[in-house]
Amino acid sequence: MADGLSNLIYGVAGGGVITFIIKITETYLVAPRLQESIDARKKLYLYARPLWLACHELEFRLNSIIDKINEPSGPSYALKLSPKNASSLDWFTKEGYYVTSTAYLISTVACWIALYERDVVFLPFVNKKLTTEFFYLIEDFKTAISSKNSILWFYYVNGIGDNLIDKGTNHPITQSEFSYRLYKDELFRGYYDQLFQFLHRVADQEFRNTLEETIKNLIKIKEFLEKNKISIKMTRETYTKIPFA
């Protein structure tokens, strides 16, 4: 009788200890990590649609350049222009619009990638494999556009993305602000000069392979975001609902 009572007491006590340990584990180890992962995914969703759209718009522009570069009315002349030619801000809305907007589209993709790398890639996700896969995809994009035949460089692509971040926010500056800085800020214009030189040589039908590889990588990023339900394939109607689009 005494032995049975003793076993019961020890059993209850032991069960209580186990329950206590489980509770502590859930409260201080599992729950915080789960919450961190949820917070990380929220931030991932915050950037996913703008990145998808930026990739889509750049893909469309690069395809258009490749398709029309040989046409008499194609973009060849426009891509040879430079902000150095601007005598007023009006230049950026007229003859300089095409080359400026192309430079902006490239920089915008680099910018969203920079924001991802700053705020998302190293956050604690439950599925580490997805994080790693996405990291390699964005690295592949930078490698493609800064290939050995390009006059852009891997870390320069990082730089044009970093410089486009609207300081104190989590999004790029607008194209109008980009144009204004190119016109007013000599240091800013000087930093992006290499990108405009790249576009000038694209107009001379150089770097076709670079553009084609870049397009392939843009598509891969979009497909990754769609496949993993981080973003959705958007229609024209949804574009207007995206902040900073």
Average pLDDT for the chain: 80
Q: Is residue 135 part of a domain?
A: yes
**Domain membership flag for residue 125:** yes
**Residue-wise pLDDT tens digits, 56-96:** 999 999 999 999 988 888 899 999 999 998 999 999 999 99
Does a structural domain hold residue 27? Answer: no
**Could you give the number of structural domains in the chain?**
1
CB neighbourhood size of 177 (10 A): 13
Residue 59 structural domain: 40-239
Grade residue 33 by pLDDT with cuts at 50, 70 and 90.
Answer: very low
Residue 13, domain member (yes or no):
no
Residues 6+ apart with CB under 8 A from 179: 89, 92, 93, 100
> What are the φ/ψ torsions at residue 123 (nearest 5 degrees)?
-80, 160
pLDDT tens for each residue of 172-201? 999 999 999 999 999 999 999 999 999 999
How far apart, in whole angstroms, are the C-alpha atoms of residue 96 and residue 173? Answer: 18
The whole-number pLDDT of residue 62 equals: 96
Residue 137 CA to residue 75 CA, distance in Å, equals 29
| Domain assignment present for 29 | no
Q: Answer whether residue 17 is part of any domain.
A: no
Residue 74 lies in a domain: yes
Q: Is residue 87 a part of any domain in this protein?
A: yes
